[in-house]
Amino acid sequence: MTIIPAIDIIDGKCVRLTQGDYNQKKVYNENPLEVAKEFEGAGIERLHLVDLDGAKAKHIVNWKVLEKIATKTSLKIDFGGGLKTDKDAEIAFNSGALQITGGSIAVKDRDTFEGWLEKYGSDKIILGADVKAEQIAISGWQETTSLNLFDFLADYTAKGVKYVICTDIAKDGLLQGTSVELYKKIRTQFPDLQLIASGGVTSMADMEALIELDCYGAIIGKAIYEGKLSIEELVAL
Tens of pLDDT, residue by residue over 167-206, are: 988 766 566 789 899 999 999 999 999 999 998 899 999 9
CA distances from 202 to 121, 210, 228 (A): 33, 12, 6
Catalytic one of 8, 51, 53, 206: 8
pLDDT confidence bin for 125, thresholds 50/70/90: very high
Give residue 142's pLDDT band: very low, low, confident or very high (50, 70, 90). low
The span from the CA of 193 to the CA of 63, in Å, is 28
pLDDT value at 21 more than 80: no
172 is catalytic: no
Query: Any idea of the CA torsion for 129, 134, 136, 142, to the nearest 10 degrees?
Result: -110
Instruction: Specify the pLDDT at position 173.
Output: 57
Domains of the chain: 2-236 (3.20.20.70)
CA dist., res. 134 & res. 192, Å (int): 20
Look at residue 228 in the predicted model and tell me its pLDDT: 92
pLDDT, position 200: 86
Q: What is the pLDDT of residue 133?
A: 86
- Per-residue pLDDT, averaged over 100-104, amounts to 94
pLDDT of residue 172: 62
Q: Where residue 38 falls among pLDDT bands split at 50, 70, 90?
A: very high
- Using 50, 70 and 90 to split pLDDT, how confident is the model at 65? very high
Among 32-36, 40-44, 141-145, 228-232, which stretch is predicted with the lowest mean pLDDT?
A: 141-145
Q: Which is catalytic among the residues 51, 78, 88, 130? A: 130
* Residue 3 near residue 46, CB atoms below 8 Å: yes
CA distance 71 to 216: 26
Has residue 94 got a pLDDT over 70?
yes
Three-state SS annotation for the chain: CEEEEEEEEECCEEEEEECCEEEEEEEEECCHHHHHHHHHHCCCCEEEEEEHHHHHHCCCCCHHHHHHHHHHCCCEEEEECCCCCHHHHHHHHHCCCCEEEECHHHHHCHHHHHHHHHHHCCCCEEEEEEEECCEEEECCCCEEEEEEHHHHHHHHHHCCCCEEEEEECCCCCCCCCCCHHHHHHHHHHCCCCEEEEECCCCCHHHHHHHHHCCCCEEEECHHHHCCCCCHHHHHHC
**Distance (Å, rounded) from C-alpha 237 to C-alpha 5?**
14
Q: How much is the mean pLDDT over the chain?
A: 92
- pLDDT of 9: 96
- State yes or no: is 88 an active-site residue: no
Longest dimension (CA), the chain: 43
pLDDT of 23 reads 79
Predicted confidence at residue 140, as pLDDT, reads 55
